[in-house]
Structure 1
């Protein structure tokens, strides 16, 4: 199946809807949106006209980017759609001088990121009620 990835330089309504569905309604997070959304690059994956996955990318310091809020609608999980989100954001970071990408993965899905070349650090922490681990990848 062919999907299209679009990048936006502000929070797009399609991205917001996916995040509400996955993180707030499905997983129970309350603090989903923050000030980073206004300065992040947002990727949205489309199946035709239907938005099906999203993620965001922002910089913490020169050469270092952070991927976050990667979400895939339930019907599309296991179909490599999440890979498309991460790869599009990594490509943007690399094109803009990125040397390192980090992310805060829910511990239960850290294996997904390991398959994409990310390595766990010793930093584990809670995000609301959910255990997370910081992971990194050199570009």
Structure 2
């Protein structure tokens, strides 16, 4: 079984930070054959959702602070290939959305890989752009308005 937690950058020790950067690089750069600058100086201001099996990091995401348009963003959602389809990304996203809501935020942006559109839509994210290429991979912008999702869940 796996455990999840949400931590600030400053709460990451050296071993945890190494595992986080390695997991993301293994997936986004190596597995997806997409050389891009993984180290973008945005991790320091982000909260990090982490999923562990014992002491091994198996999934992650990050929550970026509110942008000028008034939305926070969820990004770098990744699960190790051996652990996909086990609900890890779903659990991390649910915890991230709950944390964002608890902070009083109402808008969440994300850049979804196009093949994951339905997965993100299942949380209440709606398409906000046409499909475009980001580092050679089809993406689309999606957004969730938390208050609207909460209303739908209560109906």
Moved more, 21-30 or 122-131: 122-131
Q: Of 46, 56, 62, which residue of structure 2 is paired with 1:50?
A: 56
Moved more, 70-79 or 118-127: 118-127
**Counterpart position of 2:33:** 28
1:83 Cα offset (Å): 0.5
Alpha-carbon displacement from aligned partner over 1:64-118 (angstroms, at most 9, x marks no partner): 2100000001111111111111112112211212101110001011111112221
Residue ranges of structure 2 left out of the alignment (5+ in a row): 147-155
Alpha-carbon displacement from aligned partner over 1:18-48 (angstroms, at most 9, x marks no partner): 1011111100222222011111111110112
How many residues get paired? 138
Within 5 A, what are the aligned runs for 1:55-134?
A: 55-59=61-65, 60-61=67-68, 64-134=71-141
SS of the aligned residue for 1:116 comes to coil
**Counterpart position of 2:145:** 138
| Distance in structure 2 (CA, Å) of the matches to 1:68 and 1:113 | 12
TM, length-normalised to structure 2: 0.81
| Distance in structure 2 (CA, Å) of the matches to 1:96 and 1:15 | 24
TM, length-normalised to structure 1: 0.90
| Distance in structure 2 (CA, Å) of the matches to 1:123 and 1:42 | 28
Moved more, 73-82 or 2-11: 2-11
SS of the aligned residue for 1:86 comes to helix
